[in-house]
Amino acid sequence: MIKVLLVDDHKIVRAGIRHIVESASDMEVIGEASTGEEALSFVRETPPHVLLMDLQMPGIGGLETTRKILRVNSKVRILVLTVCDDDIFPMRLLKSGALGYLTKGCASNELLHAIRQVYEGKKCLSSAVAQQLALKRFDDSVSPFDALSERELQVMLMITRGKKVAFIAEKLHLSPKTVNTYRYRLFAKLQVNSDVELTHLAIRYGIVENHSVDEKE
Protein backbone atom coordinates (compact mmCIF):
# COMPACT_ATOMS: atom_id res chain seq x y z
CA MET A 1 0.00 0.00 0.00
CA ILE A 2 1.41 3.40 -1.02
CA LYS A 3 1.20 5.82 1.91
CA VAL A 4 0.54 9.39 0.74
CA LEU A 5 0.80 12.70 2.60
CA LEU A 6 -1.17 15.62 1.13
CA VAL A 7 0.31 19.12 1.47
CA ASP A 8 -1.79 22.07 0.29
CA ASP A 9 -2.98 25.20 2.07
CA HIS A 10 -6.53 24.86 0.68
CA LYS A 11 -8.69 22.37 2.57
CA ILE A 12 -11.13 21.92 -0.31
CA VAL A 13 -8.27 21.08 -2.67
CA ARG A 14 -6.94 18.49 -0.23
CA ALA A 15 -10.42 16.97 0.02
CA GLY A 16 -10.62 16.61 -3.76
CA ILE A 17 -7.16 15.08 -4.03
CA ARG A 18 -7.88 12.73 -1.11
CA HIS A 19 -10.98 11.47 -2.92
CA ILE A 20 -8.92 10.71 -6.04
CA VAL A 21 -6.06 9.03 -4.17
CA GLU A 22 -8.32 6.89 -2.01
CA SER A 23 -10.22 5.71 -5.08
CA ALA A 24 -7.12 3.62 -5.89
CA SER A 25 -6.95 0.24 -4.17
CA ASP A 26 -3.17 0.43 -3.76
CA MET A 27 -3.03 3.84 -2.03
CA GLU A 28 -4.03 5.45 1.25
CA VAL A 29 -3.80 9.01 2.57
CA ILE A 30 -2.07 8.88 5.94
CA GLY A 31 -2.24 12.60 6.69
CA GLU A 32 -2.67 16.18 5.53
CA ALA A 33 -0.69 19.39 6.05
CA SER A 34 -1.38 22.99 5.06
CA THR A 35 2.21 24.29 5.19
CA GLY A 36 5.73 23.08 4.55
CA GLU A 37 6.46 23.34 8.27
CA GLU A 38 3.54 21.03 9.09
CA ALA A 39 4.67 18.59 6.42
CA LEU A 40 8.19 18.53 7.84
CA SER A 41 6.85 17.80 11.34
CA PHE A 42 4.62 15.02 10.00
CA VAL A 43 7.46 13.39 8.06
CA ARG A 44 9.59 13.28 11.21
CA GLU A 45 6.84 11.40 13.07
CA THR A 46 5.18 9.32 10.34
CA PRO A 47 7.15 9.19 7.07
CA PRO A 48 4.97 8.69 3.97
CA HIS A 49 6.08 6.88 0.84
CA VAL A 50 4.95 9.78 -1.36
CA LEU A 51 4.51 13.42 -0.39
CA LEU A 52 2.06 15.12 -2.76
CA MET A 53 2.67 18.86 -2.41
CA ASP A 54 1.58 22.24 -3.71
CA LEU A 55 4.29 24.73 -4.65
CA GLN A 56 2.88 28.02 -3.34
CA MET A 57 2.11 27.86 0.37
CA PRO A 58 2.35 30.15 3.38
CA GLY A 59 5.62 29.92 5.28
CA ILE A 60 8.36 28.04 3.46
CA GLY A 61 7.41 27.22 -0.13
CA GLY A 62 7.60 23.93 -1.96
CA LEU A 63 11.23 24.26 -3.00
CA GLU A 64 12.59 24.80 0.51
CA THR A 65 10.17 22.17 1.89
CA THR A 66 11.59 19.65 -0.59
CA ARG A 67 15.15 20.34 0.51
CA LYS A 68 14.34 20.18 4.23
CA ILE A 69 12.26 17.00 4.01
CA LEU A 70 14.88 15.12 2.00
CA ARG A 71 17.52 16.13 4.55
CA VAL A 72 15.30 14.61 7.26
CA ASN A 73 14.34 11.50 5.28
CA SER A 74 15.90 10.89 1.87
CA LYS A 75 13.54 7.96 1.19
CA VAL A 76 10.44 10.15 0.89
CA ARG A 77 9.37 10.56 -2.74
CA ILE A 78 8.16 14.08 -3.53
CA LEU A 79 5.57 14.81 -6.21
CA VAL A 80 4.63 18.46 -6.78
CA LEU A 81 1.04 19.22 -7.84
CA THR A 82 0.61 22.91 -8.60
CA VAL A 83 -0.91 25.51 -10.91
CA CYS A 84 2.57 26.70 -11.96
CA ASP A 85 3.76 25.25 -15.26
CA ASP A 86 6.75 27.57 -15.75
CA ASP A 87 9.90 25.53 -16.42
CA ILE A 88 12.00 27.50 -13.94
CA PHE A 89 10.31 25.83 -10.95
CA PRO A 90 10.42 22.19 -12.16
CA MET A 91 14.12 22.55 -12.96
CA ARG A 92 14.93 23.76 -9.45
CA LEU A 93 12.69 21.18 -7.77
CA LEU A 94 14.18 18.29 -9.71
CA LYS A 95 17.67 19.47 -8.83
CA SER A 96 16.58 19.61 -5.18
CA GLY A 97 15.41 16.00 -5.27
CA ALA A 98 11.72 16.03 -6.22
CA LEU A 99 10.79 13.21 -8.59
CA GLY A 100 7.56 14.49 -10.10
CA TYR A 101 5.87 17.69 -11.23
CA LEU A 102 2.24 17.89 -12.38
CA THR A 103 -0.15 20.78 -12.88
CA LYS A 104 -3.56 20.78 -11.19
CA GLY A 105 -5.20 20.55 -14.59
CA CYS A 106 -4.08 16.93 -14.94
CA ALA A 107 -6.57 14.06 -15.16
CA SER A 108 -7.22 11.79 -12.17
CA ASN A 109 -5.60 8.77 -13.85
CA GLU A 110 -2.50 10.87 -14.65
CA LEU A 111 -2.17 11.81 -11.00
CA LEU A 112 -2.49 8.20 -9.83
CA HIS A 113 0.03 7.08 -12.45
CA ALA A 114 2.48 9.77 -11.28
CA ILE A 115 2.14 8.67 -7.65
CA ARG A 116 2.97 5.09 -8.65
CA GLN A 117 5.90 6.23 -10.78
CA VAL A 118 7.58 8.33 -8.08
CA TYR A 119 6.88 5.62 -5.50
CA GLU A 120 9.05 3.36 -7.66
CA GLY A 121 11.74 6.03 -7.76
CA LYS A 122 11.03 7.15 -11.33
CA LYS A 123 10.67 10.73 -12.53
CA CYS A 124 7.27 11.83 -13.76
CA LEU A 125 6.47 15.18 -15.38
CA SER A 126 3.36 16.57 -17.05
CA SER A 127 3.75 16.57 -20.84
CA ALA A 128 3.84 20.39 -21.05
CA VAL A 129 6.58 20.67 -18.41
CA ALA A 130 8.58 17.81 -19.96
CA GLN A 131 8.50 19.57 -23.34
CA GLN A 132 9.67 22.86 -21.81
CA LEU A 133 12.57 21.16 -20.04
CA ALA A 134 13.55 19.28 -23.20
CA LEU A 135 13.72 22.54 -25.14
CA LYS A 136 15.68 24.14 -22.30
CA ARG A 137 18.52 21.67 -22.81
CA PHE A 138 19.29 23.24 -26.18
CA ASP A 139 19.58 26.71 -24.67
CA ASP A 140 22.93 27.39 -23.00
CA SER A 141 22.23 31.03 -22.16
CA VAL A 142 22.42 32.18 -18.54
CA SER A 143 19.21 33.70 -17.25
CA PRO A 144 19.19 36.56 -14.70
CA PHE A 145 16.16 34.85 -13.16
CA ASP A 146 18.38 32.00 -11.96
CA ALA A 147 19.62 34.30 -9.18
CA LEU A 148 16.16 34.78 -7.68
CA SER A 149 14.98 33.03 -4.54
CA GLU A 150 11.88 30.84 -4.57
CA ARG A 151 9.70 33.56 -3.03
CA GLU A 152 11.09 36.18 -5.42
CA LEU A 153 10.18 33.93 -8.32
CA GLN A 154 6.64 33.51 -7.02
CA VAL A 155 6.17 37.27 -6.65
CA MET A 156 7.75 37.90 -10.04
CA LEU A 157 5.41 35.48 -11.83
CA MET A 158 2.35 37.07 -10.24
CA ILE A 159 3.50 40.56 -11.17
CA THR A 160 4.08 39.55 -14.78
CA ARG A 161 0.57 38.12 -14.86
CA GLY A 162 -0.86 41.48 -13.85
CA LYS A 163 -1.68 40.68 -10.23
CA LYS A 164 -1.86 43.60 -7.81
CA VAL A 165 0.14 43.83 -4.58
CA ALA A 166 -2.96 43.21 -2.43
CA PHE A 167 -3.78 40.03 -4.34
CA ILE A 168 -0.19 38.75 -4.11
CA ALA A 169 -0.09 39.49 -0.39
CA GLU A 170 -3.30 37.55 0.23
CA LYS A 171 -2.26 34.61 -1.96
CA LEU A 172 1.19 34.22 -0.38
CA HIS A 173 0.06 35.13 3.14
CA LEU A 174 2.38 38.13 3.27
CA SER A 175 1.83 41.78 4.15
CA PRO A 176 1.57 44.28 1.26
CA LYS A 177 4.70 45.94 2.65
CA THR A 178 6.62 42.66 2.40
CA VAL A 179 5.40 42.09 -1.15
CA ASN A 180 6.62 45.56 -2.12
CA THR A 181 9.98 44.78 -0.53
CA TYR A 182 10.26 41.68 -2.74
CA ARG A 183 9.11 43.74 -5.72
CA TYR A 184 11.82 46.37 -5.34
CA ARG A 185 14.39 43.68 -4.63
CA LEU A 186 13.41 42.10 -7.96
CA PHE A 187 13.84 45.42 -9.73
CA ALA A 188 17.33 45.80 -8.25
CA LYS A 189 18.47 42.24 -9.05
CA LEU A 190 17.10 42.30 -12.59
CA GLN A 191 17.97 45.95 -13.26
CA VAL A 192 14.46 47.01 -14.29
CA ASN A 193 12.42 50.01 -13.17
CA SER A 194 8.79 48.95 -13.54
CA ASP A 195 6.39 46.03 -13.73
CA VAL A 196 6.20 46.44 -17.51
CA GLU A 197 10.00 46.25 -17.88
CA LEU A 198 10.00 43.21 -15.62
CA THR A 199 7.37 41.53 -17.79
CA HIS A 200 9.24 42.27 -21.02
CA LEU A 201 12.42 40.82 -19.51
CA ALA A 202 10.54 37.68 -18.45
CA ILE A 203 9.15 37.32 -21.98
CA ARG A 204 12.63 37.75 -23.47
CA TYR A 205 13.92 34.82 -21.41
CA GLY A 206 10.85 32.66 -22.04
CA ILE A 207 9.62 32.76 -18.44
CA VAL A 208 6.15 34.01 -19.43
CA GLU A 209 4.18 34.24 -22.65
CA ASN A 210 3.70 37.41 -24.70
CA HIS A 211 0.02 37.67 -23.78
CA SER A 212 0.99 38.44 -20.14
CA VAL A 213 1.49 42.09 -21.09
CA ASP A 214 -2.02 42.32 -22.52
CA GLU A 215 -3.53 40.65 -19.43
CA LYS A 216 -2.21 43.23 -16.96
CA GLU A 217 -4.98 44.70 -14.85
Span 75-91, pLDDT tens digits: 999 999 987 766 577 87
Residue 99 has a pLDDT of 94
Do 59 and 106 have their domain in common?
yes
Phi and psi at residue 176, to the nearest 5°: -55, -35
Q: Residue 193: give its domain's CATH number.
A: 1.10.10.10
Do 78 and 158 have their domain in common?
no
Q: Residue 60: give its domain's CATH number.
A: 3.40.50.2300
Do 35 and 128 have their domain in common?
yes
Do 9 and 84 have their domain in common?
yes
Domain endpoint, select from 136, 156, 182: 136
Domain endpoint, select from 136, 157, 186: 136
Residue 14 has a pLDDT of 95
| Nearest partner of 29 among 39, 20, 18, judged by Cα | 18
Phi and psi at residue 51, to the nearest 5°: -105, 115
Q: How many domains does the chain have?
A: 2
Annotate 160-197 with b (16+ C-beta within 10 A) or e (fewer): bbebebeebbebbebeeebbeebbeebeeebebeebee
Those residues of the chain that have pLDDT short of 50 are 138, 211-217
Residue 133 has a pLDDT of 62
Do 130 and 62 have their domain in common?
yes
Residue 55 has a pLDDT of 84
List residues bridging with 6 in a β-sheet.
32, 52
Phi and psi at residue 215, to the nearest 5°: -85, -5
Q: Kindly calculate the radius of gyration of the chain based on its CA atoms and give it in whole angstroms.
A: 17
* Angle formed at CA 73 by CA 67 and CA 14, multiple of 5 degrees: 70
Q: Which domain holds residue 50?
A: 2-136
Do 132 and 181 have their domain in common?
no
Do 117 and 181 have their domain in common?
no
How far from each other are the two terminal CA atoms of the chain, in whole angstroms?
Answer: 47
Domain endpoint, select from 136, 165, 181: 136
Span 107-137, pLDDT tens digits: 999 999 999 999 999 999 887 676 666 555 5
Do 37 and 120 have their domain in common?
yes
Residue 216 has a pLDDT of 44
* Helix boundaries (H) for 22-164: 36-45, 62-72, 88-96, 108-119, 127-136, 150-160
- Which residues, in sequence order, are CB contacts of 31 under 8 Å at separation 6+? 5, 6, 42, 46, 48
pTM higher than 0.85 for the full model? Answer: no
Do 129 and 209 have their domain in common?
no
Do 68 and 150 have their domain in common?
no
Do 194 and 100 have their domain in common?
no
Residue 157 has a pLDDT of 83
List residues bridging with 7 in a β-sheet.
33, 53
Do 83 and 157 have their domain in common?
no
